[in-house]
Amino acid sequence: MDNLYSLTAGELLSLLDKKSVKPEEIIESVYFRAQSVDKNIKGYIHIDKEKALAQTKSLPAAGKLRGIPVAVKDNICVEGELTTCASKILRGFKPPYSATVIEKLKSEGAIICGRTNMDEFAFGSSCENSSYHPTLNPWDTGRIPGGSSGGSAAVVSADEAIMALGSDTGGSIRQPASLCGVVGMKPTYGRVSRYGLIAFASSLDQIGPLTKDVRDAALLLGVIAGYDDKDSTSVNIPVPDYLGCLENDVKGMKIGIPKEYFVSGMDKEVEGSVKEAITLLKGKGARIAEVSLPHTEYAVAVYYILATAEASSNLARFDGIQYGYRCADPENLLDMYERTRGEGFGAEAKRRIILGTYVLSSGYYDAYYLKAQKVRALIKNDFERIFESGCDCILTPTSPTPAFKIGERALDPLSMYLSDIFTISVNLAGVPGLSIPCGFTKNGLPIGMQLIGNFFEEEKLFRVAYTYESNTDWHKKNPNIQ
Amino acid sequence: MSIEEEKVRYVARLARIKLTDEEVGLFSRQLDGILGYVDKLNQKLDIQSRIPPTSHPRAASDNALCDKFSKLITQRDSFRADKIKPSLPAEKALANAPQKKGDFFKVPRIIEE
């Protein structure tokens, strides 16, 4: 038999059902793996085997994730366990309550196996903005794993966790999933409760799964989705049986290819892999149609106005009073605020808070914030027009390039922001998006494609992704970690 | 539009963040580049005033196509019954405080002598 750590949740659950493996053995295997390889990947921030083993003592008898180790991004609160957003300002913070998604995981028997690294407060696309250490890409440790959920993507890719949770504000699940060769999904805005997710940009954030295959993504979303009266933006409509919609069949489905996402100058290997995937789906009976998202070129600009404005407001709570870091020997209250925040936040957090404060400040509000909110309406409209015309989903590359080198974009924030160019519009519109492996560069770096669906039509994305995955074996390849 | 160092200092004060002189210089240059980029919204795009600002994906829209989603989600989701439930006990709420005294967060003197 293969090592347990290399299996999917689906495979492990059937072994558990047959009683041919015990939850403790899965934990031991995953921790053995993490201990062997995480020194080279650095995907985890906090990991504790004894706590994980303790959780196996009281598992619900019929849990959908009974005994499955799930890694959790460091911005999702777990009661009594360090939750720091990879920031110095939250060092030592142990939340007094758990996020709703954590309660849901535990009630289905999942084991929280560790906390994964991220760009501080989810500000970044490379995991280089962590106050602890950068995470490295399992396929090439000279390269970044993507971000901000880079730790979650890396530990799933490196078999250090069976599945993981991330959060996605502008691509923070899908882009690292793409660069690490795993499946990642941002659900529809309102599909998953954000109660207990430390907020970055409240009109954009969603929690979602990062997994080894499409079936596991459907399984994990089914567990975490649903209405929550503690999150007024969660939506009270039934959660479909996502596993039940995994059909290896796309006959008659209409897939839109937006011409704005295939432009001259794009990475040839990314373009080639995604076009081959389109050909495959066409061969399976999907109808392929060119479509247009005419306001695509404004998405990054709109995003970096709205997301930083919301962040500047959300991060006002970190003031050295209720939790986290406080500067030494403040002269007075103002001095305490300014030095606590100046010393506690990293460079990218300060940059974004200042940009966000600027675009909201008197005299600039109309030119930036209000304007961006109007263009957001146009971007949302673009998607709705396409789905209204009968498209079942839209297919694009997830990231314009494969994983870039560590340090390559760290000194130029704008070039870092542009690495989210294909994922950002999805958050602005509020629709769901899924990234799935669709090939490798000649240097062995994973390439991902993105499927975008209409509001609350995650099932269609799972169906197309499952069909594609059933006819390819990209997801079965594993990085050779030294 | 550019952002000069004086403005960076002013905005940092609004945001209650102390910056070093090096940070002010660096952010001034970097924010200049970012604002130059986002200015395409003002230069290239003619926005009609009747377009409603979209504050979040569930915001209502005057466009018939957008309206489908808004209708799907009714206002009732946003409200729950106004019932008293147990709240966080003081000791738990204070557990992470950098400084506390009794049942209170301890802060520097607020009112000048």
Tell me the mean pLDDT in the region A49-60: 92
Inter-CA distances, B103 with A94, A184, A216, B99, Å? 19, 44, 46, 11
Query: Alpha-carbon distance B58 to B65, whole Å?
Result: 13
φ and ψ of A417, to 5 deg = -60, -35
Query: Alpha-carbon distance A367 to A364, whole Å?
Result: 5
Helix, strand or coil for residue A436? strand
For the full predicted model, state whether its pTM sits above 0.90: yes
Q: Is the preceding omega at residue A107 within 30 degrees of 0, hence cis? A: no
Percent of chain A with pLDDT over 70: 99
Residue A274 has pLDDT above 80, yes or no: yes
Does A317 reach chain B within 8 Å, measured CB to CB? no
Q: Which residues have C-beta within 8 Å of that of residue A134, sequence separation ≥ 6? A: A42, A117, A126, A127, A128, A144, A406
Beta-sheet pairing, A446-453 with A433-440: antiparallel
Q: Token pair of A361, please?
A: 């400040």
Q: Å from B37 to nearest chain A CA?
A: 7
How many beta-carbon contacts under 8 Å exist across A and B? Answer: 195
Inter-CA distances, A385 with A188, A256, A370, Å? 17, 12, 23
Tell me the mean pLDDT in the region B77-92: 85
Residue B62 has pLDDT above 50, yes or no: no
Question: How sure is the predictor about B59, in pLDDT bands with cuts at 50, 70 and 90?
Answer: low
Q: How do residues A284-305 score in pLDDT, each as one tens digit?
A: 999 999 999 999 999 999 999 9
Q: How do residues A88-133 score in pLDDT, each as one tens digit?
A: 999 999 999 999 999 999 999 999 999 999 999 999 999 999 999 9
Q: How do residues B94-111 score in pLDDT, each as one tens digit?
A: 999 999 999 999 999 887
Q: Is the CB of A354 less than 8 angstroms away from the CB of B77?
A: no
For helices B21-38 and A347-360, angle between their N-to-C axes, nearest 10 degrees = 60
Q: Token pair of A111, please?
A: 């084991």
Tell me the mean pLDDT in the region A273-284: 98
Contact A104, A60 (CB under 8 A): no
Query: Alpha-carbon distance A12 to A74, whole Å?
Result: 25
pLDDT given for residue B1 in this prediction? 46
Q: How do residues A367-408 score in pLDDT, each as one tens digit?
A: 899 999 999 999 999 999 999 999 999 999 999 999 999 999
Question: How sure is the predictor about A61, in pLDDT bands with cuts at 50, 70 and 90?
Answer: confident
Residue B54 has pLDDT above 50, yes or no: yes
Question: How sure is the predictor about A3, in pLDDT bands with cuts at 50, 70 and 90?
Answer: very high
Does B55 reach chain A within 8 Å, measured CB to CB? yes
Task: Quote the DSSP letter at residue A369.
Answer: I
Q: Å from B109 to nearest chain A CA?
A: 6
Does A384 reach chain B within 8 Å, measured CB to CB? yes
Residue A29 has pLDDT above 90, yes or no: yes
| A contact residues 4-63, partner B, Cβ 8 Å cutoff | none
Nearest CA in chain B to A361: B11
Q: Å from A253 to nearest chain B CA?
A: 21
pLDDT given for residue A480 in this prediction? 93
pLDDT given for residue B76 in this prediction? 53
Q: Is the CB of A336 less than 8 angstroms away from the CB of B95?
A: no
Query: Alpha-carbon distance B43 to B29, whole Å?
Result: 21
* Chain A residues with CB-CB distance to B2 below 8 A: none
pLDDT given for residue A71 in this prediction? 98
Beta-sheet pairing, A433-440 with A183-186: antiparallel
Contact A432, A249 (CB under 8 A): no
Does A235 reach chain B within 8 Å, measured CB to CB? yes
CA A20 from centre of chain = 33
Q: Token pair of A424, please?
A: 């950002």
Q: Identity (one letter) of the amino acid at A255? A: I
Neighbours of B4 (CB within 10 A): 10
Nearest-5° Cα angle at A43, A326 to A269: 125
pLDDT given for residue B113 in this prediction? 65
| A contact residues 431-470, partner B, Cβ 8 Å cutoff | 431, 455-456
Lowest mean pLDDT among A28-37, A148-157, A230-239: A230-239
Q: How do residues A300-336 score in pLDDT, each as one tens digit?
A: 999 999 999 999 999 999 999 999 999 999 999 999 9
pLDDT given for residue B111 in this prediction? 79
Does A93 reach chain B within 8 Å, measured CB to CB? yes
Tell me the mean pLDDT in the region A262-272: 89
Q: Is the CB of A370 less than 8 angstroms away from the CB of B98?
A: no
pLDDT given for residue B70 in this prediction? 57
Torsional sign, CA A192, A194, A199, A202? positive
pLDDT given for residue B65 in this prediction? 45
Residue B68 has pLDDT above 90, yes or no: no
Q: Å from A382 to nearest chain B CA?
A: 10
Tell me the mean pLDDT in the region B4-13: 94
Q: How do residues A162-198 score in pLDDT, each as one tens digit?
A: 999 999 999 999 999 999 999 999 999 999 999 999 9
Helices (H), A42-170: 49-55, 100-107, 150-157
Q: Token pair of A131, please?
A: 């106050």
Q: Å from A328 to nearest chain B CA?
A: 11
Residue A6 has pLDDT above 50, yes or no: yes
Q: Is the preceding omega at residue A148 within 30 degrees of 0, hence cis? A: yes
Does A259 reach chain B within 8 Å, measured CB to CB? no
Q: How do residues A419-439 score in pLDDT, each as one tens digit?
A: 899 999 999 999 999 999 999
Mean confidence (pLDDT) of chain A = 96
Query: Alpha-carbon distance A3 to A162, whole Å?
Result: 12
* Chain B residues with CB-CB distance to A303 below 8 A: none
| B contact residues 89-108, partner A, Cβ 8 Å cutoff | 92-93, 95-99, 105, 107-108
* Nearest-CB residue to B47 (from A325, A347, A375): A375
* Chain A residues with CB-CB distance to B37 below 8 A: 300-301, 414
Q: Token pair of A13, please?
A: 């659950």
pLDDT given for residue A97 in this prediction? 96
Task: Quote the DSSP letter at residue A324.
Answer: S
Does A389 reach chain B within 8 Å, measured CB to CB? no
* Nearest-CB residue to A338 (from B16, B40, B45): B16
* Enzyme catalytic residues of A: 73, 148, 172
